[in-house]
Amino acid sequence: MFETIVNSPMFGLSLCVGVYLLSKWIQRKTKWAIANPVLLGAAFVIAVLSIFKLDYEQFNIGAKVINWMLGPVTALLALGIYNQRKILKEYFIPVVVGCLAGAATSIFSILGLCRLFEVDKAVAAAMVPKSCTTPIAIAIAEAHGGVAAIAATCVAVAGITGVVCAPLFAKWFSIKDPVAQGLATGACSHALGTTKAREMGELQGAMSSIAIGICGMISVVISLFITV
């Protein structure tokens, strides 16, 4: 019976959905910034696979369905920019310059550090797009021979860091402009950071949403001209 369940394509999908809902419930109850559903969900999946000694390939049969959904999700980024078009027109120059600076700094700082510490090329390629949203990051990583799983992990770490640190950095560096707060958060910490930006204010959330899509597009263009 147990073997039948774990070998079912629905097992991986059900496990992902189940641990995510559990993680969301824990986040609502604790209200801790570190209790992020992505972080907790990944920890729960690892724990289940380890405790029951389940093969990753068995789990990934169903989990691939979620990966397949990343493509349509990428297209929805355009909808987010369109919905915020009035704000984008008002702050067009700061948005473009800020997103260009954020995307370029993220990519080239990672490249520099990876070369300094002689990181394996496959790992370096996976780390380069860590500030992009997951579907874009995986596409960039795979185009340069990177490992998709490592890329997704780096994206999650960058997002969780933004959730925890964005308000603190804004306070420490006296960044009071809501446009700057939102752009910086979205450029560095994509969708996860945007959840925190929305808590900081409506304008911050809107600017962070815009930054996700624009930084993603800029990162794709930059990635065409770099060698990992």
Sign of the Cα torsion 154, 191, 168, 34 reads negative
- pLDDT at residue 1 greater than cutoff 70: no
Place of tokens 């797009």: 129
Residue 221 pLDDT = 93
* E strand or H helix that includes residue 16: helix 9-30
CA 105/CA 199 separation, integer angstroms:
26
Name the packing angle between helices 148-172 and 134-143 (round to 10°).
130
**Token digits for 187?**
């450029």
- pLDDT at residue 197 greater than cutoff 70: yes
Tens of pLDDT, residue by residue over 116-175, are 999 999 999 999 999 888 888 988 999 999 988 889 889 988 888 888 888 888 889 888
The domain locations on the chain are: 2-68, 72-223
Please report which residue ranges of 54-201 form alpha helices under DSSP H.
56-68, 70-83, 85-90, 92-116, 121-127, 134-143, 148-172, 178-200
**Token digits for 36?**
């992020």
Give the side-chain half-sphere CA count within 13 A for 48: 17
Confidence label for 10 from pLDDT (cuts 50, 70 and 90): confident
CA 166/CA 182 separation, integer angstroms:
9
Q: How far is CA 139 from the centre of its chain?
A: 13
Residue 199 pLDDT = 81
Tens of pLDDT, residue by residue over 78-116, are 777 777 788 888 888 988 998 999 999 999 999 999 999
Residue 47 pLDDT = 92
CA 215/CA 96 separation, integer angstroms:
9
Tally Cβ neighbours within 10 Å of residue 21.
12
- pLDDT at residue 74 greater than cutoff 70: no
Tens of pLDDT, residue by residue over 23-58, are 889 988 887 777 778 778 888 988 988 998 888 777
**Token digits for 49?**
């696979």
Residue 156 pLDDT = 86
Residue 71 pLDDT = 67
Look up the pTM and report it. 0.78
CA 162/CA 94 separation, integer angstroms:
20
CA 225/CA 36 separation, integer angstroms:
34
* E strand or H helix that includes residue 133: none
Residue 100 pLDDT = 93
AA letter at 171: K
Give residues with Cβ within 8 angstroms of 62, minimum separation 6: 8, 9, 10, 11, 12, 13, 14, 15, 16
Contact 159, 182 (CB under 8 A): no
